[in-house]
Structure 1
Amino acid sequence: MCYRRSYGMEPCGGSAVRAETTAMWRLVGAAVGHWARRAAAVLFGVSVPLALIGTNVRLLFGWEALYTFPITRYRVEEVSGIPRPELLRAARELRAYLLGPERPLVITVTDDQGRVGPLFTERETVHMADVRRLVQRLLRVQEAAVLMCVGYAMVRLIVERRRGLTAVLRLVWWAGLGTNLAALALAGAALTRFDRLFTQFHVLSFRNDFWLLDPRTDHLVQMYPLPFWQLAAALFLGLTVVESALLAAAARWVLARLETPAPSLAPVS
């Protein structure tokens, strides 16, 4: 029996249509939720290596010894004509510039002849501004990646408890393993053709050619020559290899513990 809307009753087939619409929206919601969960898992998997790599960038760029080591290791005072104490002070100021608030890079030194002037040329100063922007971007990416990792793990643990913990550990295992293999491959390539990789890094990272400096006259490359960057890259890749291996191993160990069934207790006779 059908009723018209004018009587305030449900029209013919209205309940069936409404049920079909509700079911359709439930299917859509389930599909969206499924893909959203997958997207979040992928984002977490990407965030793990980004957080690891970004943390190493933060550690190394914040380590004062990394800035001062080449001054003594490569006897920069003999090449540059600038006393070692002045170069060490300039190295510390360079660290403060890269990690501190944005400002012009102005470092004044006194050379062996007693002449006072800027340490870097305009070309070097522009390049260091580009380097600072790159470093700051990497630090912001690291912060976002860490927040993503922590947030995703907390949500999965709160919502799914043990099942969520297992899922997070599996993602950490795969992300750690992938990062480890990629770092090993990059380390192998760096051992054979570091100069080519170093050049390609600059081509991809900077929009100009101000990174092309003359080691005979430019103090920046005198202070930090190519052999220094080989050592720094080896340190960075070594840290990444060890940390990613430990991360993957720890995740795998906890997974094995979670997946091992508890021994059943025999009844006492």
Structure 2
Amino acid sequence: MDKKSLATAIIVGIVFPVFVLITSMEFAVFNRGFFLDQLDKNNVSQTTGIASKELPAVTEQIFAFLKGEREDFNIYAEKENDLYVPLFNQEELIHMEDVRGLLKAAVIVQAVCGVLLLAGLVLLFFWNRAAMAKAVFGGSVFGLVLLLASGLAAVFDFTAVFQAAHRLIFSNDYWYLDPNESVLINIVPEPYFIALGLRIVTIAAVVYLICAAGGGFFSQRLTQRKFMKNSKRKF
């Protein structure tokens, strides 16, 4: 394999699993049906006092804010006592601004990885198709290893992993919300994040497995063809 093909294959192998993981996260996080189902399973209406009929509208406003389609997180909703009130306090507003900033950064990384991935695959298609197949296979295996490591850590102690990730990502402690006072943490409690994590892992794992199988198959086929071609030349 020539140097330019090797370098391009390495880049593809790195950006591919990152692109798949962020895309899987985006698909899972902004799935309206999944979010509403979790609100129901976690009895959010009962724990927060938000009227059940208000939850779909609240969901849409949360999504709009995270996608940058809404300027602020000052969301109002009707409580069970028929009062139309703001749902979130100042700490929750600050934290969600941080979350939106994190998602914006993820979108930028996703876009950069997507461009590099597409460019790399196109170049390898013309330069070295065996290298392209190997890059996809290697990137998929790397992604599966990351998922397995993360999954094992979460199974061992999800709460500890969750808190450690927040301490690493956020520069303040506004993410540490009291369930007895915070509406936000009761809208998205720990069971929600467990279900969300499983959903992200499942989506990404399926993509990795399919691509690993495809990449491995085509890599083997192309290697066999090259071997047969070289064997014929000898004779």
2:142 pairs with 1:174: no
Task: Report the structure number with the largest CA radius of gyration.
Answer: 1
Distance 1:42 1:168 in 2: 10
- Could you tell me which residue of structure 2 aligns to residue 230 of structure 1? 194
Post-superposition offset of 1:119: 0.9
Distance 2:54 2:86 in 1: 12
Q: TM-score, structure 1 length as denominator?
A: 0.78
In the alignment, is the contact (CA less than 8 A) between 2:8 and 2:120 conserved in 1?
yes
Overall identity of the aligned pairs, in %: 22
Can you list the C-alpha shifts for 1:133-180, whole angstroms capped at 9, x where unaligned?
A: 11121122111111111101212323x2xxx11111111111111111
Aligned length: 227
SS at 1:250 equivalent:
helix
Can you list the C-alpha shifts for 1:72-103, whole angstroms capped at 9, x where unaligned?
A: 11111111122111123112210111113461
Matched residue type, 2:44: V
Residue from 55, 59, 70 that aligns with 1:91: 59
CA spacing shift, 1:70–1:205, aligned 2, 3 Å? same
Distance 1:156 1:70 in 2: 43
Post-superposition offset of 1:234: 1.2
- Could you tell me which residue of structure 2 aligns to residue 73 of structure 1? 41
5 Å-filtered alignment, 1:61-140, equals: 61-101=29-69, 103-140=71-108
Distance 1:200 1:232 in 2: 17
- Could you tell me which residue of structure 2 aligns to residue 17 of structure 1? none
Residue from 153, 175, 197 that aligns with 1:189: 153
Distance 2:56 2:151 in 1: 30
Residue from 207, 210, 223 that aligns with 1:259: 223
- Could you tell me which residue of structure 2 aligns to residue 4 of structure 1? none
The alignment's C-alpha RMSD in Å is 2.0
Post-superposition offset of 1:43: 2.4
5 Å-filtered alignment, 1:38-49, equals: 39-49=7-17
In the alignment, is the contact (CA less than 8 A) between 1:126 and 1:210 conserved in 2?
yes
Greater relative CO, 1 or 2 (CA 8 Å, sep 6+): 2
Matched residue type, 1:259: T
Distance 2:9 2:132 in 1: 9
Structure 1 runs not aligned, ≥5 long: 1-32, 265-269
Residue from 122, 131, 140 that aligns with 1:154: 122
Post-superposition offset of 1:55: 1.0
SS at 1:260 equivalent:
helix
Q: TM-score, structure 2 length as denominator?
A: 0.89
Post-superposition offset of 1:259: 2.3
Structure 2 runs not aligned, ≥5 long: 230-235
In the alignment, is the contact (CA less than 8 A) between 1:49 and 1:175 conserved in 2?
yes
Post-superposition offset of 1:108: 0.6
